[in-house]
Amino acid sequence: MLKEITSERLPIKMWLTDIEEGALQQARNLANLPFAYQHIALMPDCHQGFGMPIGGVLALEDIVIPNAVGVDIGCGMCAVKTTLQDISVPRIKEIMSEIRTVTPLGFKHHKQPQDESRMPSGHDISALRVVGREYINALYQLGTLGGGNHFIELQKDTGGNIWIMIHSGSRNIGKQVADYYNRLAISLNEKWKSPIPRSAQLAWLPSHSMEGREYMNEMQYCIDFAFANRKLMMERTLEIFSKNFKGEFNAFPMINIAHNYAAEEKHFDKNVIVHRKGATLAEKGTVGIIPGSQGTHSFIVKGKGNPQSFNSCSHGAGRVMGRKQAQRTLDLQKEIKRLNDMGIVHALRTPKDLDEAASAYKNIDTVMQAQQDLVEVVERLQPLAVIKG
């Protein structure tokens, strides 16, 4: 931990020293919630979000806040290490082109519904009002990347092994669940005359109420859907590799970890609901994934189980400028040259693409340095090629 603020009802413990004013004010709002527990934790990739800063960790007593999870419920990372080494640039370009043919990007979805057996199991869909309404649409979105900072990346570790890494979430079904329950919470909070101002964007639900239980159940479905989504994209990517390198490599078991969710956990001898919004579980021994920005290293890590962070770490590098600001101010040719000089196969073509340029993000090495008490680095991965949503 690098800094602690003690001026609010609860302390704000920070793994960064430089934080934008908007994110800090959001953290102060969290620290003054009457049902917030112990302290607020801010990871080194922290930046402003809606209601709760991205990179924030919040523990609540018997309360759940939809906006403290966010609209991309279950968004997270998966990665597979292979025994393959040394892929030529022309071969990489062919593979990335094939990946694009089987994985819709951005707002695109499949033209046919995907195999229903790949959808999450163990849920009573009839009891999930939003999921039930969106289920058919979700069949077309399963195995699609989405937009923003979502990506499929080929990487190489320090031993020369090729890795495949995917960052994606629950697509529109997660957004629909988040929006529905946030609107419901706002309506109920007004009815209950909640002391928390609506402007804070932190409308809440009692976790044991009918509405709170329904949200938690639908949220869990979206977490499972996001995992199924990443898994299908990874399987199809591995199929492409298998076709291109018949019998030449093996793949290790997939690593998967989410960074937008709420879960019941025990911390400081109390059962609470921990909200991680752009933060990753880092219990002792937990294997996690911390990606860099486009053109920088990513990391496979192992958690140290630091109770001060509620057993959490960062979920990435974190933005230093908004998307529109990046598009307005960054130099396209400079950003393209940076990637070309590193030999990275990329799709940075127009000023619109600058919202995901490396310069729009914090320095990943600085972020990793700031959380040495949260995780240990297992693998450092160098980017070879990237597909952005």
Q: How far is CA 182 from CA 65, 175, 186, 216, in A?
A: 8, 10, 6, 12
Least Cα distance to 272 among 34, 63, 67 occurs for 63
Instruction: Tell me what pLDDT residue 317 has.
Output: 94
H or E stretch at 114: none
- What are the tens digits of pLDDT across the range 40-91? 999 999 999 999 999 999 999 999 999 999 999 999 999 999 999 989 999 9
CA distance 61 to 36: 6
CA distance 123 to 221: 7
Q: What pLDDT band is residue 16 in, cutting at 50, 70 and 90?
A: very high
Least Cα distance to 134 among 147, 150, 119 occurs for 119
Query: pTM (2 decimals)?
Result: 0.96
Pair 86, 338: CB distance under 8 Å = no
Q: Which two tokens stand for residue 83?
A: 């025994």
DSSP summary character for residue 205? E
- What are the tens digits of pLDDT across the range 162-177? 999 999 999 999 999 9
Instruction: Tell me what pLDDT residue 294 has.
Output: 85
Q: Please give the share of the chain, as a percent, with pLDDT higher than 70.
A: 100
SS3 373: coil
Instruction: Tell me what pLDDT residue 295 has.
Output: 86
Angle at 353 between CA 109 and CA 299, to 5 degrees: 85
Q: What pLDDT band is residue 278 in, cutting at 50, 70 and 90?
A: very high
Q: pLDDT at residue 389 above 90? A: no
Q: What pLDDT band is residue 114 in, cutting at 50, 70 and 90?
A: very high
Task: Match 């908007």 to its residue by tokens.
Answer: 22
Encode burial over 19-52: b for 16+ CB neighbours within 10 A, e otherwise.
Answer: beeebbebbbbbbebebbbbbbbbbbbbbbbbbb
Instruction: Tell me what pLDDT residue 299 has.
Output: 98
- What are the tens digits of pLDDT across the range 229-247? 999 999 999 999 999 999 8
Q: What pLDDT band is residue 38 in, cutting at 50, 70 and 90?
A: very high
Q: What pLDDT band is residue 156 in, cutting at 50, 70 and 90?
A: very high
Instruction: Tell me what pLDDT residue 137 has.
Output: 98
CA distance 335 to 353: 10
CATH superfamily of this structure's domain 3-320+361-388? tRNA-splicing ligase RtcB (3.90.1860.10)
Instruction: Tell me what pLDDT residue 40 has.
Output: 98
The catalytic residues are: 315
Comparing 67-81, 273-287, 312-326, the range with the smallest average pLDDT is 312-326
Least Cα distance to 156 among 230, 89, 236, 246 occurs for 89
Instruction: Tell me what pLDDT residue 252 has.
Output: 97
Instruction: Tell me what pLDDT residue 86 has.
Output: 86
Q: pLDDT at residue 304 above 90? A: yes
CA 367 to chain centre: 16
* pLDDT, averaged across the chain: 96
Residues of the chain with CATH 3.90.1860.10: 3-320+361-388
